[in-house]
Amino acid sequence: MASRVAFQGERGAYSEMATLQYFPDVKPLPLKSFQDVFDSAEKGKVEYIVVPLENSIEGSVNEIYDLLLQTKMSVIGEIYQRVRHCLIANKGAKMIRYVHSHPQALAQCRVYLQNKGLKAVPTYDTAGAVKIIKEKKMTDSAAIASKRAAELYDMEILDEGIEDRKNNYTRFFVLSPKKKKSTKNEPHDNSHNHKTSIIFSVRHVPGALFDILGEFAIRKINLTRIESRPTKETPWEYNFYVDFEGHLQSKVVNEALLSIKPKTSYIKILGSYKKAEFH
């Protein structure tokens, strides 16, 4: 039986493209919001979800970090999706004044829009913006979305590659309510082909974060990302989201996690997964 996978947005969204990159044989389920996507898996409607975590130009998707804190699901994979934006309009539209898209996509094309004198209009999704201007037959508006979205909705591409930086990628997480089973082929030590993601908070004392990060440093575990988000419970206290090289089955990773646990006030292991490759 084919896997059931959900993503946020409409068909043609970059999230759908990332989903099909990881699950090429599925028909992904599009949902309106990130909360809907997480709920669909936690309620058993789908087996996996694919969500954007960060963009190489505009940074983190903060809502996802907050949802990762709440969810009981595990991260079982990551995806790098190349983002190449197109300016898309109804066929025959010429006097374009407004451009609709997701806020991240608008930000990634900020210079282009300014140079063209176009007014940005935020919407919930890139492909959703294409769908809106088609359904409403808007002739003074265009959308920023993928070439795939233009093809799916039979729209005209006015310009391609309009992102301000060409090295534009979005990193996605694949999550599942069921933890991924280990195999004999997965390495246990020196696993540079895998990453592990965790969340922790620290006691409000001098050197607390330094003491925790030092446990990774002395074991030569490479931290690939660290992000802080407010706990939303106590002002000016933060949760730290950390990705590092290595697998949970690795002895050195286990030692590091055991050593930091008593130094944290909270710790959550999101999971280990194979590193994504650039396409």
Contacts of 107 (CB under 8 A, 6+ apart): 57, 58
CA separation (Å) from 68 to 54, 175, 176, 239? Answer: 13, 10, 12, 11
Annotated catalytic residue 170: yes
Q: State the Cα–Cα distance between residues 56 and 169, nearest whole angstrom.
A: 5
Is-contact 84 160, C-beta < 8 A? yes
Angle at 113 between CA 8 and CA 163, to 5 degrees: 55
Catalytic residue selected from 23, 34, 172, 244 = 172
Active-site residue identified among 19, 71, 170, 196: 170
| C-alpha distances in Å from residue 74, one per residue of 38, 70, 174 | 12, 11, 8
Active site residue 183: no
Query: Which residues belong to the active site?
Result: 170, 172
